[in-house]
Amino acid sequence: MQRIVRGLQLYERKLYCRRKKNRLKNKDFSIIASNCNGTFMYYDMRIRYLTPTVNLVIEMNDFVKLAENLEAYMEKEIVKLESDVPYPTGMLDDIKIMFMHYPTFEEGVEKWNERKKRINWENLFIVGTEKDGCTYETIQRFDRLPYENKVIFTHIEYPEFSSAYYIEGFEERDEIGVLTNYKEQFWKRRYLDDFDYVNFLNSGRQLKSKGQQRC
């Protein structure tokens, strides 16, 4: 019985992601993201990665700095950083990049260099997350980034910032949790699914979170 239920859940998830992909009209976009939230927007819809920020983490203060001068940073090379973290790490000038889902530093850099050539500079989407060193001042800086299409996922509401999108379920924490995890419910839904990123990618407009809609 458990196997049947599991199969049903996986099948429904596959149909759910397919419906998302069918809704997607904007097919040639580059998501520059601080962590795997951007990766899974591509992955769940089986879209080719047009970005180097795949399967890695950049702490939010570094990420804002990267986004503030993105084209210049993309011209720089990543240098290996010896550290005590259990995954490959490198420095892009003064930006630390943690290749969390790569077996070696060399593979992470190879994929970074390969994918950065695919960036569509005319169709950029900047995606941040209120974690990994993110402070209120970091969100302020993110909100001032000179990009029309940007969003930062937050654990509480920040109505003063147009780019902030509140994801429910992490209010008792100091920061948001792992949004690519599945919720504890019957149908398989990630916390990230609370954000209609297909609409965001299609329209380029910032969407209101549930809390903001109630206001």
The neighbouring-strand residues paired with 97 are 90
Cα separation, 199 vs 176, in Å, equals 22
What per-residue confidence (pLDDT) applies to 205? 56
SS3 label, residue 158: coil
Whether 210 has a pLDDT exceeding 60, the answer reads no
Q: What is the 3-state secondary structure (H, E, C) of 85-111?
A: CCCCEEEECCEEEECCCCCCHHHHHHH
Confidence (pLDDT) at 65: 98
Answer yes or no: is pLDDT of 213 > 80. Answer: no
The pair of three-digit structure tokens given for residue 96, joined into one six-digit string: 């630390």
pTM of the model: 0.93
- The predicted pLDDT at position 150 comes to 97
Q: Which of 88, 63, 91 is nearest to 77 (CA)?
A: 91
Which has the closest alpha carbon to 154: 140, 168, 137?
168
The reported pLDDT for the residue numbered 203 is 84
pLDDT of residue 143: 97
Question: 10 Å Cβ neighbour count for 46?
Answer: 9
Domain ranges of the chain: 2-68+115-214
Q: Give the SS3 label for residue 144.
A: coil
Average pLDDT over residues 17-37: 96
Q: What share of the chain is helix, strand, coil (3-state, %, to 5)?
A: 40, 15, 45
pLDDT of residue 176: 97
Q: How much is the pLDDT for 204?
A: 67
Residue 69, C-beta contacts closer than 8 angstroms, at least 6 positions apart? none
Reported confidence tier of residue 214, pLDDT bands at 50, 70, 90: very low
CA 42 to chain centre: 10
What is the per-residue pLDDT for 62? 98
Check residue 215 and give its pLDDT: 30
Query: What is the pLDDT, as a whole number, of residue 212?
Result: 46
pLDDT tens per residue, range 95-142? 999 999 999 999 999 999 999 999 999 999 999 999 999 999 999 999
Average model confidence (pLDDT) for the chain? Answer: 93
Amino acid symbol at 171: E
